[in-house]
């Protein structure tokens, strides 16, 4: 059924953005380390991880909340954000001298 397919897709997307999938399960990452961790009652658990990837020259830092990616310095995360933000910004026009205000919202982890 459609509901079952949609639920499967949500679970698959969640796994793709999980700390386990992106960092802990990967054997090709060097110098993996948790830089910070914070969990307060009623607040999401926050962790910042740093690691080196084969394709990045410098260390990558990623923020996870409750085990899911929220933001990353990885080049693919930056490219993803650029691809989402630019069309929205280019589609806005203003007939006044005041620059337009734009809010872009996304469920994607790095589109903030």
Write down the residue that tokens 């949609």 correspond to.
6
Question: What pTM, to 2 d.p., does this model score?
Answer: 0.60
pLDDT of residue 111: 45
53 has pLDDT over 60: yes
Q: Could you give the residue ranges of the DSSP H alpha helices within the chain?
A: 2-16, 19, 75-90
* pLDDT score of 78 more than 60: no
Q: How confident is the model at residue 33 (pLDDT cuts 50, 70, 90)?
A: very high
């Amino acid at each position: 059924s459609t509901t079952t397919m949609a639920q499967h897709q949500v679970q698959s997307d969640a796994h793709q953005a999980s700390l386990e999938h992106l960092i802990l399960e990967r054997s090709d990452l060097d110098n993996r380390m948790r830089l910070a961790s914070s969990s307060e009652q009623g607040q999401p658990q926050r962790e910042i991880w740093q690691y080196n990837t084969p394709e990045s020259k410098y260390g990558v830092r990623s923020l996870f909340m409750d085990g899911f990616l929220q933001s990353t310095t990885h080049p693919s995360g930056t490219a993803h954000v650029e691809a989402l933000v630019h069309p929205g910004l280019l589609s806005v026009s203003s007939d006044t001298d005041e620059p337009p205000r734009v809010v872009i919202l996304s469920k994607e982890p790095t589109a903030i």
